[in-house]
Every structure is written in structure tokens, then in C-alpha cells.
Amino acid sequence: MTPIVVQGVCKNFGALQALDGISFAVEAGEIFGLLGSNGSGKSTLLRILSLLIAPSRGTISMLGRQVQKKDSSLLRQMGVVFDQTPHYEHLTGFENAWFFARAYEVGDTEIESRLRHFFTALDLWERRDDLVGIYSHGMKRKLALIEALAHHPRVILLDEPSLGLDYHSRMSLYQLLQERVQSGSSIIMATNDVHEARLLCDRVALMRKGRILAVETPDALIGSLGGYAILEMRLDRPIPFDLLKGVPGIAQSEATVRENGSYGIRILARDDPRILPTLLAEITPHASLIGLDIKRPDLGDVMLRFGGGADAS
Amino acid sequence: MRPDRLWQREILEQVRRRRSCVVKFVLPLVLTAPLLLLHVPESVRADAFTLLLIFIGVFGTAVGLIRARESGMMVRLAVLPASPARLTGEYLLTHSLFDGLQFLVPLLLIAAPRTRDPFTLIVLGLTFFMVIFAANAIGGMVAVAAGSSGEGHLFAILSVLVVMGLSGLFRDIEGRLDPGIFLPFHYFRDVLLSSAFPIPGIVLSLVVVAALFGTTLLISPRLFRML
């Protein structure tokens, strides 16, 4: 039985179509990523999957049940972290986690050991008896993750799970998620972090304007840009924003961070030796080239190509 | 104490907020002090005390729930397996209990000069808690209806005014009992004023409180909706 099957899900908010014909399935032991820019519909989809809002059309089957609003037995097997993570500020971190674990009906004896495991893994054990009111944003985020995972849910829905976490905590979180996956949980994770998606997700759905553009493994998605290369140029001054639009062979360009007095520009272009001279002919009247790196594309470039390019369709 | 249920969590949080806890227990004494110390007509004393209970119950619950919803906490609770009715019920009962405890001493100070009869005091206590339960249930309805804090305050004021009007509070400056129709507020005021407690009034008040509570629980899923 496939734990999560989404078929033709649409969601309208008045005249706005937030989701349009979303379909995918997630297997047991799989991490499925939702990758897309802001407003692409990732959070709306997660809210529908967590039974908070109903789809306008389409069906969702989860753990063999048709999803309806407020299905207690289904919610008992789900763990959810939203982008907002409010807590009871006058309770300690441990008391907060305890309350949520008990709400999911975890037995008294099990809670202690499970919470100890999660608090220790996310480096929060020594601060467990502090009031949440004095926790930092990152610590609150870790606590929300503990609250979502402590009852060992079979379906885990995460919206930007590593937002605000330091590097060490991110790695610990990835390890915890892998633990859950190895025990058969299915994870759907919305993220803007392409590196996280590549590292963690078995498959990724690229979303744009409420639609899924592609569902593939991260490697296959990157492979879809096989005929492309990334040109990272450093210039002595900025060039006009739309200068490279319409240059043959250029799929995408974006300004990057200014470094040491230079201006960066990152270009996704066809892997064709004739491109570079054409590009330089366009750029040199406006700026001088200080440096150039040529790289293979990564998942971020796939996202740019599908999500923001003029020829994204 | 480790909170297993929402009501335990609410108690724990109330106790932890020491400053707020002190204010909550001192404020009722401060507010009722003029009623106790000054020579005010007994009908005004009964009216004002009833109004105070309505006000605290409606506003306290409405504002608390709306704030929880605006912070995103209601959405978090919505993905728990517990039903909205159970969560709302636990919240209302706990806050009603706290409101009752806050006003217990002022109630005794107001009632003590009038009667020492244990049975009258029991009836008074019962009607007192019915008023608080009813006011908290109305506060819950206000929170369900309101889409923001501003709306919540407006709806709470309107609700208090309607309840006050229907209960016959402050209607008769001559001191005569003015018949109000909205139990249990009207009934509590009468008991406080005359130490008379017709049994049908208690039963009807209980029915009204149960109806208000039941309605609030029935519409409570809307409290957990996404704004």
C-alpha cells in the first residue's frame, strides 16, 4: 500500500488558484521534497495534507484512508511542522514536548526515553528545563521538530524544517529524519533550500504557481540540464538588468553577491563554445570581465530553469 | 507537574505567570472594594458585581482564544488527534474555574452581611459559577465569530451590552426588581439581592448554561480554522 496518494488536487482561494491539478504518490520510507519559489503552493499543499483545509477538487489517500477534515485516527499517525512554530512560552521545553507527545497518546514510560533521545540529538537536553520564552528562534524550531517526531508518526509533513538551524543541528535533524525513514515513515518536506533537497530527498517535485512541473530524483533533475553549463562571471561594474535577455543560448541569468568590489552574474547557458564570445560581446561595452568560472549545473539551477526562466514552460 | 491534557497545561501556565496571577486575584478585590466600602444601593451592588463577572468571563476567554489563534497555536492544536470540542471544553472549564476562584472572596464579602444560611450560600455559589460558565461560553462564541483582536473586542463589548440588557441589570434606579429575561445572570443578581431562590430558576439557569456551553462546543471547530 502506498502511504500517500494525491490525485488531481486543486485549491482555490476566491479567484486565486493556489493549487492546480497536483498529483503524486509517496512510498513508505521515502523523503519527498516540494521545491519551489515563494507562493508556489508548497505550504498550501502541506496544509491540505495535514487536514487543516480541504481541497477544492481532487482526492487524497493517506495510510489507506480517504482524507477528510479532522480524522483523529489519521492525525494520530502524522507529525507536522509548519513555518510558524508557536509554543507555550511559560512552560519549559520539556513540558511543551511532553504535552504534545501525550496529546498523541504516547505512553508515560516511552515519552521519557524518546524525548531524551530527541532532545539530546538536537543538542537541547541541557536546556530542557528552561522556559521556552527564553529560547532562541532556532531552539524553538528544534523543539517544534521534537514535538512533531516524538510520537513516531508514519507520515511526517515538514515546512522548511531546517529554517533557523545551525549547521550541526541541521546534520542532526537529517540524521533523525533518516532514522524515521528507515523505520518506514514517509516524509513530505517543503523547502527552498536546494542543497537540503539534494542531500535528503529521494524525489523532488518542482512547483511553480500551484502546479507541479516535474517529479524526479535530484540527480535526474540535474541530468535534465545535461546540455547546459553554468557561467559565473565577475565584472567590475553592474550591467543592465535585461541585457542578456534574448541572447541566443542563454536560459537564465541572475545577479549574485558582490565580492571584493566586483559584481557577480550567474548564467545558465547551453553547453556550446560559441556562447562565450557572444556573451562577452554583449557585456564588454558595459563592464570589464574580472574573472570567470564554468561549472556543471546543480539543483538550484534546475529550480531557476523551471521556476523563473522565460522559457520555463 | 507535566501536563498531559490541555486543562493541566492551562493551570500550569496560569500558575507560572506569577505577576499575572497576582493581578488576577488582587484586581477583583480592588474592583469590588467600592461596592463593599461605599453606601451604594444593594441593587446597584448586585448589578455591578454581576456585570463584573460577565465582563471578566466574556473578555478573558474571548481575548485569550483570539490571541492563541493569532499566534498560530490553534492551528498547531488543530493537527492534534483531540477533537476541537474537547480542547475548547477543557479551556473553557479551566478558565471558568480560575475566574470563579478570583471572585470567590469578593462574593463572600458581598454575601456574608446578608446571609449565613449554608443552603443559601450553596445556591449562591452554584448560581455564581453558572454565571461564570455562561460568560466564558459567550466569550468562546465571540472568539469563534471574530476574525481579529479588534473584532473580538468589539464583539465582546456588544455581547456584554446585550447580556446586560437582557438580564435586566441597571434598569431600575428606584431599587425595585426589574424583570430580566436572560438567565442565569438575572437569577444570580436576584439571589444576591433577595436571598430568595425559586427552584425553577436554578433549573432553567442550568439549562441555559448547558445550551450556551453546548453551542460553543458545537461551533468550536471554527475556532481552529486558518485565518
Are B139 and B59 in contact by the 8 Å Cβ rule? The answer is yes
Phi, psi of B119 (to 5 degrees): -65, -40
Same domain, A32 and A137: yes
Best of B8, B80, B223 to substitute, by most chain A Cβ atoms within 10 angstroms, is: B80
Q: Is residue A212 a part of any domain in this protein?
A: yes
Between CA B183 and CA A150 the distance in angstroms is: 47
CA torsion through residues B122, B128, B130, B136, sign: negative
Best of A43, A73, A91, A141 to substitute, by most chain B Cβ atoms within 10 angstroms, is: A91
Same domain, A214 and A135: yes
Between CA A93 and CA A110 the distance in angstroms is: 17
Residue ranges of chain B whose CB lies within 8 Å of a chain A CB: 2-5, 9, 12-13, 16-17, 71-73, 75-76, 78-84, 221, 226
Asked whether the beta carbons of residue A91 and residue B3 sit closer than 8 angstroms, the reply is yes
Q: Which residues pair with A4 in a beta bridge?
A: A26, A62
pLDDT at A268: 86
pLDDT at A210: 92
| Partner residue opposite A53 with nearest CB, options B2, B4, B226 | B226
Domain of A234 in residue numbering reads as 227-296
pLDDT-based confidence at A101, cuts 50/70/90? very high
Mean pLDDT value across residues B25-29 = 90
Check whether A78 has a pLDDT greater than 90. yes
In chain A, which residue's Cα lies nearest the Cα of B74?
Answer: A86
Mean pLDDT value across residues A7-18 = 92
Q: Which of A142, A155, A2, A185 is nearest to A75 (CA)?
A: A155
Are B155 and B142 in contact by the 8 Å Cβ rule? The answer is yes
Asked whether the beta carbons of residue A102 and residue B79 sit closer than 8 angstroms, the reply is no
Mean pLDDT value across residues B20-37 = 88
pLDDT at A194: 85
Longest dimension (CA), chain A: 72
- Whether A132 has its CB under 8 Å from any CB of chain B: the answer is no
Mean pLDDT value across residues A223-247 = 84
Same domain, A202 and A53: yes
- Whether A95 has its CB under 8 Å from any CB of chain B: the answer is yes
Best of A43, A90, A151, A155 to substitute, by most chain B Cβ atoms within 10 angstroms, is: A90
Contacts of B76 in chain A (CB under 8 A): 82, 85-86
Same domain, A206 and A253: no
Q: For B160-193, how does the pLDDT look when each residue is reduced to its tens digit (9 = 90+)?
A: 988 888 887 776 555 555 556 677 787 887 787 7
Highest-confidence segment of A223-232, A251-260, B172-181, B188-197: A223-232
Best of A11, A46, A48, A52 to substitute, by most chain B Cβ atoms within 10 angstroms, is: A52
Residues 6+ apart with CB under 8 A from A59: A6, A7, A8, A9, A66, A67
Percent of chain B predicted with pLDDT > 90:
44
Q: For A123-179, how does the pLDDT look when each residue is reduced to its tens digit (9 = 90+)?
A: 999 999 999 999 998 999 999 999 999 999 999 999 999 888 888 889 999 999 999
Same domain, A97 and A35: yes
Between CA A247 and CA A232 the distance in angstroms is: 16
pLDDT at B61: 95
Q: Which helix (H) or strand (E) holds B64?
A: helix B42-70
Q: What grid cell was written down for A215?
A: 517529479
Between CA A173 and CA A161 the distance in angstroms is: 9
Same domain, A195 and A243: no
Q: How many beta-carbon contacts under 8 Å exist across A and B?
A: 68
Q: Is residue A311 a part of any domain in this protein?
A: no
Between CA A298 and CA A307 the distance in angstroms is: 14
Asked whether the beta carbons of residue B79 and residue A52 sit closer than 8 angstroms, the reply is yes
Same domain, A200 and A139: yes
Asked whether the beta carbons of residue B9 and residue A52 sit closer than 8 angstroms, the reply is no
Check whether B227 has a pLDDT greater than 80. no
What would you report as the CA-atom Rg of chain A, rounded to the nearest whole angstrom? 22
The last residue of one of the domains, among A192, A222, A252, is A222
Q: Is residue A187 a part of any domain in this protein?
A: yes
- How many angstroms separate the Cα of B171 from the Cα of each of B97, B132, B157? 30, 22, 18
Same domain, A289 and A213: no
Task: Give the residue with greater pLDDT, B116 vs A26.
Answer: A26
Q: What grid cell was written down for B137?
A: 461560553
pLDDT-based confidence at A121, cuts 50/70/90? very high
The alpha carbon of residue A84 is apart from the nearest alpha carbon of chain B, in Å, by 7
Same domain, A207 and A240: no
Between CA B168 and CA B185 the distance in angstroms is: 9
Are B61 and B139 in contact by the 8 Å Cβ rule? The answer is yes
Task: Give the residue with greater pLDDT, A286 vs A303.
Answer: A286
Contacts of B17 in chain A (CB under 8 A): 90
Classify A31 as helix, strand or coil. Answer: strand
Q: For A170-214, how does the pLDDT look when each residue is reduced to its tens digit (9 = 90+)?
A: 999 999 999 999 999 999 999 888 888 888 999 999 998 999 998
In chain A, which residue's Cα lies nearest the Cα of B73?
Answer: A86
**In total, how many domains does chain A have?**
2
Longest dimension (CA), chain B: 55
The last residue of one of the domains, among A222, A249, A269, is A222
Q: For A269-285, how does the pLDDT look when each residue is reduced to its tens digit (9 = 90+)?
A: 888 888 888 888 888 88
Mean pLDDT value across residues B22-29 = 89
| Partner residue opposite A91 with nearest CB, options B13, B81, B84 | B13
Between CA A168 and CA A176 the distance in angstroms is: 13
In chain B, which residue's Cα lies nearest the Cα of A79?
Answer: B79
pLDDT at B185: 80
Q: What CATH number is attached to the domain comprising A258?
A: 3.30.70.260
Asked whether the beta carbons of residue A82 and residue B72 sit closer than 8 angstroms, the reply is yes
pLDDT at A279: 87
Check whether A67 has a pLDDT greater than 90. no
Helix boundaries (H) for chain A: 42-49, 72-75, 93-103, 108-121, 137-149, 167-182, 194-200, 218-223, 275-283, 299-307
Contacts of B83 in chain A (CB under 8 A): 70, 72
| Partner residue opposite A95 with nearest CB, options B3, B79, B83 | B3
Q: What CATH number is attached to the domain comprising A31?
A: 3.40.50.300
Q: For B74-114, how does the pLDDT look when each residue is reduced to its tens digit (9 = 90+)?
A: 999 999 999 999 999 999 999 999 999 999 999 888 887 77
Mean pLDDT value across residues A217-232 = 85
Q: Which of A209, A211, A154 is nearest to A184 (CA)?
A: A154
Q: Is residue A309 a part of any domain in this protein?
A: no
pLDDT-based confidence at A312, cuts 50/70/90? very low
The alpha carbon of residue A226 is apart from the nearest alpha carbon of chain B, in Å, by 42
Same domain, A291 and A163: no
- How many angstroms separate the Cα of A120 from the Cα of each of A31, A124, A237, B45? 23, 6, 49, 58
Check whether B226 has a pLDDT greater than 70. no
Q: Is residue A310 a part of any domain in this protein?
A: no
In chain B, which residue's Cα lies nearest the Cα of A82?
Answer: B76
Same domain, A180 and A106: yes
Same domain, A254 and A131: no
Mean pLDDT value across residues B14-21 = 87
Best of A102, A111, A130 to substitute, by most chain B Cβ atoms within 10 angstroms, is: A102
Mean pLDDT value across residues B28-56 = 88
